[in-house]
Amino acid sequence: MKREKTPFVWLKNMIKKLHIWQVILLLISLGVLFGLIYIIPFATNNDIEGLNSQLSKPTIIYDKNGEVASKVSANKNEGVAFEEIPESLIHAVIAIEDHRFFQHEGVDYQGIGRAFLTNIRAGRIVEGGSTITQQLVKNELLTAEKSYDRKLQEFFIAREVEHQYSKEEILQMYLNRIYFGEGAYGVKKAANKYFAKDLGELSLSESAMLAGLIKAPSTINPYNDKQKAIARKNLVLKQMKQHGYINEEEMNQAINVEMSFKEGEADPMKGKYPYYVDAVLEEAMNRYDLSLDELLTQGYQIYTELDPSMQADIESTYQNDAIFPSTTGERPVQSGMILMDPETGGIRALVGGRGEHTLLGHNRAIHPVGEPGSTMKPIIPYAAAIEAGWENTDMLKDEKLSFGEYAPNNYNNQYLGEVPMYEAVMHSINLPAVWLYNEIGVDRGKKVAEQFGIPKNVLDGGLALALGGTSRPVSPKVMAEAYSVFANGGKKEEAHTIIEIKTQSDEPFVQWESKKETVISEQTANQVTAMLLGVVDYGTGKAAKIDGVEIAGKTGSTQLGIEGLSGTKDQWFVGYTPHLVGAIWVGYDQSDRNHYLTTSSSEGTAPIFKEVMEKVLQGKPIESFNVDKIDDKYKKQQRNKEKQEQRDEIRNWLEDKRNQFFDWFN
């Protein structure tokens, strides 16, 4: 019986006639054909051009003195330039990982052939034969899957990488990314992790040790198995001799040297001054259009207005829990504080919260936190009124008044009939402020407030603005910038952290440009300052008073507004010396029946402000304001008030005796 021919029988007969090497050659040819059809488009779609941009270089933050203050980065590996990598380490890695690195074009065909035959004999993939370029591709652009499909992808992409980058660039990218164990990615971190050294300090023996870790960083790790790590190091040295990088004497010396391992300390500048750094990053993104990824990876040099001494003082104060109001619930009382130079607008120091910090999280020094309360009064209505022709000695109504449906109250529900403006400010009396705001006009007040830097969308309210009843919250930064107008003779400079940004290669990128503008007259600024000096000397801000130091400032708080509870949700103090402005807010991120402040701003924020200012002003020259102080007027008024009280007391006594006399006769 004749056997029926099956399909492709000719192919089977042909294969039988072929030698094994011919079968292998056929399979390789088919693989190459498959690569041309499928892998090349895949390779061209990979982010090969982005490989080099992924090298992470930390942004360095400099203080106002030009000293390194902090560093910030995102990636696990930190890049170094090729020139910074010692020659001994480069030679060690090439000798053990890819000794034909400078001869091949991304793929070592001899190595692939050797690995292919080894895998055929084993019946599984046991050897990769990968070059340094292929390892870079596998680690950065592909998965760790072991398959011929992925190997072909690696093959074509590696060749494409070699066409786009020089050998030095490939080595740099590889050595900055490869894992050395113990959480150390890249040669810089590896040198610190195992030897507590900078790259340039590595010996030949230490370079060989690091190169040996690449194959199996967990099992060859000297902290896990010192003998295995040393044996691997010696193998690297022998390979270096074999390929002509060192001679026999150098090899023997490096083999016989006693190895010691020591983990270096983390960079003390990493993560330092976190809230200030956050403010710098936000300013760079919002004002100069840099992306966060650029700021965390491209090695920018940012020169700032930071005063490291002031920053240390404000941070140490915020570590003292005892000085803050006690917590009424499970969430902590929060706070934000900022210090700035009123003349330049430079932010000298800030803290944006208590407790754990989150990168670019809620920064209560520069983000809106609450209504400003009575800290708004010096701006609306008093600065606006004085600018319109009023004087700080003018008498203002202090009576129970209604303005349409709006009927404000004094805090203690007591009314004096009329008071001089400075006394209304010193004791933060509500009705005179509202009455005066009504007199000068709401629109006039809003216009002045906008010139002070208060955001327009915050000023949607009516007469309640005189008591800080804004439609939206404000930040300590906004209030500090506003009060800088008083300290700076009526002129305002925009608050900022950044002086200059340079690129990694030290090229200028951007520079701060002054935007100083006149907001009010110097005479108006001085009259307000005179009243605010009285607040600290005699009024609600006495808890912020420092002996021998002239501080002008204002307290502020907002009522809780929950029926049946007496307390506040926001507490403020904004104050200044001739050359330093500070603003502090204390409160809960969200107030409710279980989370509110039971003290006043006089008890809550003013003492914290005082402690910070005592520290930052220590050893500084004593400065005074060149203003006509209201001390004499206030003291004279107090004496007259005391005399009047004495006269009233005598009059009442005489009246009482007179009544007793007539009662006796009756």
Q: Which phi and psi angles does 583 have, rounded to 5°?
A: -140, 135
According to the model, what pLDDT value does residue 43 have?
47
Enter the pTM of the model: 0.74
Beta-bridge partners for 575: 553, 582
| Mean pLDDT score across all residues of the chain | 87
Q: Which residue has the higher pLDDT, 340 or 120?
A: 340
The residue-averaged pLDDT of 370-393 equals 97
333, amino acid identity: V
Per-residue pLDDT tens digits for 300-313: 999 999 999 999 99
According to the model, what pLDDT value does residue 477 have?
99
According to the model, what pLDDT value does residue 144 have?
55
Q: Which residue has the higher pLDDT, 140 or 334?
A: 334
According to the model, what pLDDT value does residue 30 have?
58
What is the share, in percent, of the chain residues with pLDDT greater than 90? 61
Which positions are catalytic? Answer: 97, 374
According to the model, what pLDDT value does residue 29 have?
59
Q: Which residue is associated with the tokens 């990088």? A: 245
According to the model, what pLDDT value does residue 48 have?
75
Which distant-in-sequence residues (6+ apart) come within 8 Å of 269 by Cβ?
Answer: 60, 68, 69, 70, 71
Token code pair at residue 345: 């607008």
Per-residue pLDDT tens digits for 344-367: 999 999 999 998 888 889 999 999
Q: Are strands 552-559 and 301-304 parallel, antiparallel or unpaired?
A: unpaired
Per-residue pLDDT tens digits for 448-495: 999 999 999 999 889 999 999 988 999 999 999 999 999 999 999 999
Task: Please give the helix or strand (H or E) that residue 533 lies within, else none.
Answer: helix 522-538
Q: Which residue has the higher pLDDT, 364 or 628?
A: 364
Per-residue pLDDT tens digits for 125-153: 556 668 888 888 887 777 555 666 667 77
According to the model, what pLDDT value does residue 41 have?
47
Per-residue pLDDT tens digits for 391-406: 999 999 999 999 999 9
Beta-bridge partners for 568: 559, 597
The residue-averaged pLDDT of 167-178 equals 90
CA–CA dist 587, 567 (Å, integer): 11
Judged against a pLDDT cut of 70, whether residue 261 lies above it is answered with yes
Question: Is-contact 393 633, C-beta < 8 A?
Answer: yes
Helix axes 20-34, 148-164, angle to 10 degrees: 60
Least confident of 31-35, 175-179, 626-630: 31-35
Per-residue pLDDT tens digits for 28-56: 655 555 554 444 544 444 567 666 655 66
According to the model, what pLDDT value does residue 268 have?
65
CA–CA dist 43, 28 (Å, integer): 19
Per-residue pLDDT tens digits for 265-276: 766 667 899 999
The residue-averaged pLDDT of 483-510 equals 97
According to the model, what pLDDT value does residue 606 have?
96
The residue-averaged pLDDT of 578-606 equals 91
Least confident of 182-191, 376-385, 392-401: 182-191
Q: Which CATH architecture has domain 79-256?
A: Orthogonal Bundle (1.10)
Task: Please give the helix or strand (H or E) that residue 339 lies within, else none.
Answer: strand 334-340
According to the model, what pLDDT value does residue 162 have?
87
The DSSP 8-state label assigned to residue 575 in this structure reads E
